[in-house]
Amino acid sequence: MTDSRCRQLRLVFGLGLFAAAMCLLFGCAGHGSNRVQGYVEGEFVYVASPLAGQLQSLNVQRGDRVKTGDPLFTLDNIAERAVLDQAQEQLAQARSTLEDLRKPRRPTEIESIEAQLRRARAAYTFSQKEFERQERLAQTGARALEDLDRARSARDQDRQHVAQLEADLETANLGSRVDQIRAAEATVQAQEAAVARANWDFSQKSQAAPQSGAVFDTLFRQGEWVPAGRPVVVILPPPNIKVRAFVPETQIGKIHVGDPVRVWVDGVPKPYVGKVSFISPRAEFTPPVIYSQESRAKLVFMVESVFDPQIAANLHPGQPVDVQFGE
């Protein structure tokens, strides 16, 4: 075989491979020029706990369907339960102290002060009368001035004692001082924050499904140690399932967000109908040459399409599909 013949065969073979590649890329093999190839893509939801712990229970298995709020897994929470109980006890103690400070003194304490006040008033009444008697005697010269001064001093002391007990009785009825009550209120607020934090830590040891969907995978077994933030369950919600296709530059101008789209799946006689949700603003492949009429045909743009949850549940990530845009 001559070199010329070999070159011709290689050229024909190369053109055949190029044609086959273009057909695979743009879906031209038996589907018409208005279809392109694509694949199903899933955006998974990875459910994890922000705290570490041993996996105590796993409530789901791969392939299960879950609804929002369904329990997924629980980590060991003995330490968090103890911290929460301690914080709640300290909060109850702080609230009790605050209520005690806001109340007046006990009835028996007030009765004691009132009894002392009655006794002091009686003593003041007697000393007042004794002072008046000594004052009259001093005016007649029957008594010395020292006795009058002594009577005046006793009267003044009794009067001050009465004033002191009256103030003590008023304070007992008012309760504690304002600064003591404010300090107790701050303590209660701090303990309430501690309870809220402990309750949050305790609740994070059990995780529920944030969305409805299929359990795509479980990454740990019961009894294994789960590091903080490491996903345990992977969920694929139907709204997170989409179809990605790569459209040539010559067709991208005809496609708009919201346009209807039909997707053919192997083994399914009728296409699934959805709508375009995203068109990439950048080309997925750019040839290393200046754009020309010939090279522009090599540019493709990624287009994403979404479907109703009932339809999306029939699609599987990685599944190849044929996509047709428009009516």
Q: Report residues of the chain scoring pLDDT below 50.
A: 1-32, 286-293, 295-296
Which residue in the block uniquely carries the two structure tokens 């077994």? 221
pLDDT, position 190: 94
C-alpha distances in Å from residue 262, one per residue of 73, 306, 326? 38, 11, 8
User: Residue-wise over 250-282: b if at least 16 C-beta within 10 A, else e?
Assistant: ebbeebeeebebbbbbeeeeeebebebeeeeee
Query: Mind listing the pLDDT tens digit for each residue in 77-93?
Result: 999 999 999 999 999 99
Q: Which amino acid type is present at position 267?
A: G
Q: Tens digits of per-residue pLDDT, 187-206?
A: 999 999 999 999 999 999 99
Res 240: pLDDT: 93
Q: What is the DSSP string of 244-284?
A: EEEEEHHHHTT--TT-EEEEE-TT-SS-EEEEEEEEEEEES
The pLDDT value recorded for residue 104 is: 64
Contact in structure between 99 and 234 (CB atoms under 8 Å): no
pLDDT recorded at residue 7: 46
Q: What's residue 21's pLDDT?
A: 42
User: Looking at residue 222, what DSSP letter applies?
Assistant: T
